[in-house]
Amino acid sequence: MPVLEDEVVIVTGASRGLGRSMVERFSAEGARVVLTARDEDRLNEVAADLPTESLVVPADVRDSDAVANVIERTLEEFGRIDTLVNNAGVAPMDSDGGLVNVTDEEWEAVLEINLTGVFRFTREALPHMYDQERGNVINISSGLGRRAMAGVGPYVSSKWGLEGLTRTTALEGEEHGVNANALDPGGRVDTDIWAHLPDEEREQILDPDVMDDAAVLLAAQDPDGVTGESMDAEAWESRLG
């Protein structure tokens, strides 16, 4: 029997890269997957090849009404939410001269998607998980959520904020049977984000499926599972595999 048979999993940023790979793996493990991102055509392309039921609901994580609609459509179609994967995000933006040259617009563009968007989806999904007394929230983070790097202040700040949000979600959800954890690939991944890298740097880049095994293990957790933790994919596989 597939690990996630008939589970309902929402994946944000599902149209490409890490999100697409996780969607395909969740479906292969028997889950019914809700795909959301801004590009409806790409989402439909991904959904067309899935072996299980799926639902495409385009949304921009910056739009609270659109986020609420994803949750509403999911419940109308499938009746519950077992796992929320907050994967949508934007890449680090190099800031010449560091923080002193970051504009308000640049700062807000990164924080709005990488942190506030996660908050919006989590806020909308949690009440339904609480009612079910079970659920898993998986926030896709970065090694830069546990350390810092000069020149990418907005991105680093967004990921440190995400780590704090993950822990808060875990603390509040624990009594309701909801686990919340952060997962990162453990390095740069072969996605559009890093397409600009020179060939010598791309030699060490990871495949988009690097997190799939860990994501399935996290989504398969029962209430009272591991919660409030942040690790890369390899560490999660060792912990839960």
Catalytic sites, residue numbers: 155
Residue 59 CB-half CA count within 13 A = 32
Query: Which two structure tokens, joined as six digits, stand for 83?
Result: 């796992």
Query: Which two structure tokens, joined as six digits, stand for 59?
Result: 């949304």
Quote helix, strand, coil % in the chain, to nearest 5: 50, 15, 35
Residue linked to tokens 């179609």 = 77
Whole-angstrom Cα distance, residue 166 to residue 184? 13
Residue linked to tokens 């939410």 = 81
Whole-angstrom Cα distance, residue 177 to residue 175? 6
Whole-angstrom Cα distance, residue 208 to residue 18? 5
Residue linked to tokens 């009272």 = 224
Whole-angstrom Cα distance, residue 238 to residue 241? 6
If we measure between CA atoms, which residue out of 3, 7, 180, 29 comes closest to residue 79?
7
- Which DSSP state fits 39? -
